[in-house]
Amino acid sequence: MTATDSLPRTAGVYDVERVRADFPILAEKVRGKRLAFLDSAASAQKPRAVIESIAHTYTREYANVHRGVHYLSERATVAYVAVRGKVQRLINAAREDEIIFTGGTTDGINLVAQAYGRTALKSGDEVLITEMEHHSNIVPWQMLRDEKGIVLRVAPIHDDGSLDMDAFQALLTEKTRLVAVTQVSNALGTVTPIRDICRLAHAVGAKVLVDGAQGIPHIATDVQDMGADFYVFSGHKLYGPTGTGVLYGRAELLDAMPPWRGGGDMIRSVTFEHTEYAPLPHKFEAGTPNIAGVIGMGAGIDWFTALDRDGLDAHEADILAYGTARLAEVPGLRLVGTAPEKVAVMSFVLDYAHPHDIGTILDQEGVAVRTGHHCAQPVMQHYDIAATVRPSIGAYSTREDIEQLVAGLGKVREMFG
């Protein structure tokens, strides 16, 4: 029996109770209460298939990959290399060697900033981002600005959290060499018009990096249809293990880029005078990889893609609409981020309690939410607030979770209101 033998159980129909049954942690009581886990945007919980995959690798099939000629190394290598094809199919990349394994979204963006940015961009070239980017899609470009003299431009958002496309287009000029933009805002839930962004950017000759960390768990993603030149995401937000992720890049761009990290596995030959680099994807994968993690990410992708996609989308849309409506009824509550195109996230503030106090009281009621700036301080600055409470949903979320949240907010009102 392999870890993914149980997969077809959820295929074909969307039955949230059966989905929940795949997540052992959801049966845990926290603080003596039913767990309402509403923090999937920070990291998703793991289905049994992923947990068992990791245990299976270490119990039955673990050794270092690639170089070994012995049985265990061969088994681990077969499982490990198969994941590249799973990712390729998940995002519809044209080629398997366009999939680079990384440590996560942050790692992928830094790889592009360092390997592509440092060589393809020169002083005065502009990188266009948006006001709703996660810090990991801001800071690497600022580091490049300080080192290389590139110019960082920021497209603003409207007060509902949608991207100001007029301003975006005005900032997009022939000086723009790279557009780095999120598919979905982690603080607001806004879905950006990513196909339009790619089309407009390409019209001025710019390349596009898409931060898919919050997009891939909620939106069927096709990098070719989207027009992305680079696409990055994290395994742990897609029901897989932490420390895993993917950089997709068009082969032509990846081929032209120098490696970022040097070391084992990324070379064809080494002498003290000269090193010849390995072809894609290995050129960008120096060192022993996260073997069990990557295999576990593959198990997460198998689990995720076995879900009925239309059913999943309809379910998440229902929970978001229901949650938004129920929150809107809470006295003194203001939603932060009300863009027409939204997924998965319901950020809010209460006019009589601080987000951290709200989070602490909700925790006593078994409700797990994130509070703070969500690594998107410029978004907070836009709304002139320090923090929000951010419930976020995933494949296993239910209306019962929302009811528990709203009941918890009743307790907050009793204490602070």
Q: Which residues are marked as active site?
A: 375
The DSSP string of 197-223 is HHHHHHHTT-EEEEE-TTTTTTS---H
Query: Of 370-399, which residues contact ligand PMP (CB under 6 A)?
Result: 375
Using the minimum distance from each CB to ligand PMP, give the nearer residue, 39 or 365.
39
Among 40, 106, 110, 221, binds ligand PMP (CB under 6 A): 106
Using the minimum distance from each CB to ligand PMP, give the nearer residue, 333 or 389.
389
Shortest Å, Cβ 92 to ligand PMP: 21
Shortest Å, Cβ 275 to ligand PMP: 29
For residue 256, count other CB atoms closer than 10 A to its CB: 12
d(CA 347, CA 392): 8
Which amino acid, 189?
A: G
**Site stretch for ligand PMP (CB under 6 A), options 72-80, 86-94, 101-109, 263-271:** 101-109
Say which DSSP state 278 is in: P
Among 19, 45, 88, 104, binds ligand PMP (CB under 6 A): 104
Residue 182 binds to ligand PMP (criterion: CB under 6 A): yes
Say which DSSP state 294 is in: H
Residue 214 binds to ligand PMP (criterion: CB under 6 A): yes
Among 22, 125, 211, 285, binds ligand PMP (CB under 6 A): 211
- State whether the Cα torsion 155-158-162-168 is positive or negative: negative
- Are the beta carbons of 336 and 36 closer than 8 angstroms? no
| Residue that the structure tokens 């980017």 belong to | 133
d(CA 219, CA 238): 11
Residue 221 binds to ligand PMP (criterion: CB under 6 A): no
**Site stretch for ligand PMP (CB under 6 A), options 139-147, 208-216, 263-271, 320-328:** 208-216
Using the minimum distance from each CB to ligand PMP, give the nearer residue, 86 or 373.
373
SS3 for 336?
coil
Site string for ligand PMP, 224-243 (x = CB under 6 A): ----------x---------
CA 200, distance to chain mean position in Å, is: 24
Shortest Å, Cβ 212 to ligand PMP: 8
Residue 380 has φ and ψ, to the nearest 5°, of -65, -40
Q: Which two tokens stand for residue 245?
A: 């992720």
Q: Which two tokens stand for residue 359?
A: 């989070």
Q: Which two tokens stand for residue 392?
A: 């976020």
Which amino acid, 263?
A: G
| Residue that the structure tokens 């490049």 belong to | 144
Using the minimum distance from each CB to ligand PMP, give the nearer residue, 107 or 365.
107
**Site stretch for ligand PMP (CB under 6 A), options 99-107, 157-165, 337-345, 348-356:** 99-107
Shortest Å, Cβ 136 to ligand PMP: 4
**Site stretch for ligand PMP (CB under 6 A), options 74-82, 210-218, 288-296, 404-412:** 210-218
SS3 for 268?
strand
d(CA 104, CA 347): 24
- The arrangement of strands across the sheet holding 333-335 comes to 333-335, 348-350, 388-390, 370-372
Using the minimum distance from each CB to ligand PMP, give the nearer residue, 57 or 105.
105
Using the minimum distance from each CB to ligand PMP, give the nearer residue, 234 or 347.
234
Bridge partners of 240? none
Using the minimum distance from each CB to ligand PMP, give the nearer residue, 234 or 398.
234
Shortest Å, Cβ 103 to ligand PMP: 7
Site string for ligand PMP, 139-178 (x = CB under 6 A): ----------------------------------------
Q: Which two tokens stand for residue 21?
A: 């049954």
Shortest Å, Cβ 233 to ligand PMP: 8
Contact positions toward ligand PMP, by CB under 6 A?
A: 104-106, 134, 136-137, 182, 186, 211, 213-214, 234, 375
